[in-house]
Structure 1
Amino acid sequence: MIKMSKGLKRRLLQNRLYVYSLIALVALAGFLAYVQPGVAYEVAVNGSTVGIVKRPSQMEKLLKELDSELRDTKGQEITYDINIEYIKGKLNGNDLTDAEDLKIKTVSSLDIKSPGYLIKSDGKVLMAVKDEAIAENVLEAIKAPFSTSKQNAKVEFLQQVDVLKAEKISVDKIFNNHQALAVVKSPISIASVSRSNINRDSSNESTGDHIKPLIDVKVTYEESVNIPIYRAEKRVADSSMTEGTTKVTSEGENGVKEVLREVIEVNGEEIEKVTLSEQVIKNPEPKIIAYGTKPKTPSVVSIARNYIGVPYRWGGTTPSGFDCSGFTQYVFRKAGVRLPRTSAEQGRVGTKVSRSELRSGDLVYFPGHIGIYIGNGQFIHSPSPGKSVRIDSLSTRKNFLYGRRVI
């Protein structure tokens, strides 16, 4: 067995220490090269900074998890463009970003698109929905309020309405069934979309309390209504009643007819109404009004006749002698009617009537002269000095002006 000297042993021990120290230094250098204390990466997604990570590999792993989560929640057919940039630098006291915060900020930087269906009105997109069935539900929901309880209703849109599939629509602009029907019931906002982008525009257009629907709805329907046939008035002569008096002998009754008509409405507002047929259910009964034909003033004429032959006397007002107005005043007083004294004053009383309207008992007025009409174109009067009360024909007096109806 070979024995080493103490000096050799000491040198060998020193060499081992050197080797161990060198290995430790190499390992430490490798560790520091990997860990890089104080160094981190700022991550930008599609140009927007989303956070700070220690290593790019952490972000790559997070993106894979995020993609799986997005497809589970928003559908396997989603697409999105993503551009990742890493900017190496010192932390300088900044904290690394939590993984959940990184996901939230990354999602907000993505324009995630999915296939869907667009509802278009005259080429303008009103709404994007998840599938064709929802689109049909929307269109039926727009029609429903205007066609409920309508007989033989034909419902149509005034605009050209199309439902078209689009491959790429931003998912936050695609309505599910509940969201879409909520918009229809209260259309305070309209979706204006294109194949690659959707913008929501506010629309508060309304008339009074009525909100204009997304699409104009025309409804043509039939309605059956009962309409009154208003009673007529029938006048019947009654010789037992005095002229100028009337009496209702029967109130009568309105009739009824059933009318079938076609009604056209746009957005619930009636535009046109056309009668298709009508049938009388109950005939009207006229209101009967009896009117008197018995002369009101036979006493005036009969009284006047009693004084035929009384001589004319200027200023006379008694049967010993009459002037024209004294005669008429006296006769009418006997019949219970008071007249003014002069012919001019008497020519202004009562109601003015034409020659064709004269009836027995009316005053007939001439310039400076007056008499009493007795019918058949004749009148009784006190003519002039040297003459007496007599009956003459109106045709003998060319200066007749008008009649006055006093009673």
Structure 2
Amino acid sequence: MFPDPATGAAQVQVSEVNPPHCARCHGAPPRPVWDSFPLWPGAYGERYGARLSTRERTGLAAFLARQPTHARYRQLLAVQRFADPGTFRPGARSQYAAVAQEPPNAELGIALARLQSQSIARELARRPAFASYQYALLGVADASCGGLAELYPRSLWSEARAALERFARDTAAANAREAQLKSTRAAGGGLPRTARAASSDDALVPLRFVAESALGVDTRRWTLALEKGTYDFTLPPPAAQPLREGLLAEVAARDASVQDLSRYSTSSDGDRYCSYLKRRSRAALGASKEELSALGSEVAEAPSAAPGGPTTAPGAPAGTSPGPAARPAALQLCINCHETGVAPPLPFSDPAELARQLRLRPAARGTLLDEIRFRLSSAAGTQHMPLGVNLSQADRETLERYFSALAYAED
């Protein structure tokens, strides 16, 4: 939306939403397009932390002279900041006083990366498999909780390991191509060929691997880089990876414990945050009882499991209907939590014992059956069960009917 000088400064033309000529570069859904740290060929302040070249200073001075009367650019705010050489390369005084801020290109890159990360996190959260893989995605979002091997069950990791190695090689090749093309663009503008390929961490290799292999999300348009099909997410050194924050918000909306642990966890307490993610991730993805027990028991809350998992308990024959009604598929979520040592033990795979405890075991809201009914209701809020999984109304009602029928069935 800009004034059109041909029809008069007062005339404004509003484009259609996401017009095709914009989508050619920005894609669908649209993404910001901006170069990655530390080189922005063609923009004033092309090199991060460097003084402006003679060519840049001359061009910027001419722009600033025209800006106050320019039909479009006269609306810009705080333009005089760009006349200060310290804007692009902070001097010793501002650094000593700790008041220096990022140069404009890096500042814009961080802001766009934050918005893009929120969009990516929402896209991931909409996928059906997100409930299963949310803890793995969050754990590898900034590499602070170790590699994917620590978040996947052993059986799943053994299947995924070779594929991840191939994925990493393909990513490195794509980013080497990006660095070469970016160097060519830089050289065309008189800059030295200094572009280097992004590191594995800056390419978000494990996170993107989970997104593509498990959730079916195409990550080729995630980056801000001009070169399509590349994976450079490099940010200035002080900047935290914003995708981790976007994923944390999505996971915390389903499991409030994650937010608290992320704020207060320290290395001195055994890093309960990472331990929590590892246990929840492995339980959700079908780890064995022995494997979960080996991870310790730092967290008492039960990990969520994904809908669509196996519907028979370990050791139970397929198709068994042990009780007054066929066992609902969602019951496997309860089994994965409470029969793996992660949550308080409850015999969800033993109908006879479960029926007895539903009637007789005391709980905060009466009997165990009363407690389960509350945890399945909308009134439970963040205390709902299973943690981290939003069951449909139909699934909740099916579980409640099953437990009620089991509790009141004749012995």
Q: TM-score, normalised by structure 1?
A: 0.21
The structure with more radius of gyration: 1
Q: Which has the higher contact order (CA 8 A, sep 6+)?
A: 2
User: Which structure has the highest helix share of the two?
Assistant: 2
Q: TM-score, normalised by structure 2?
A: 0.20
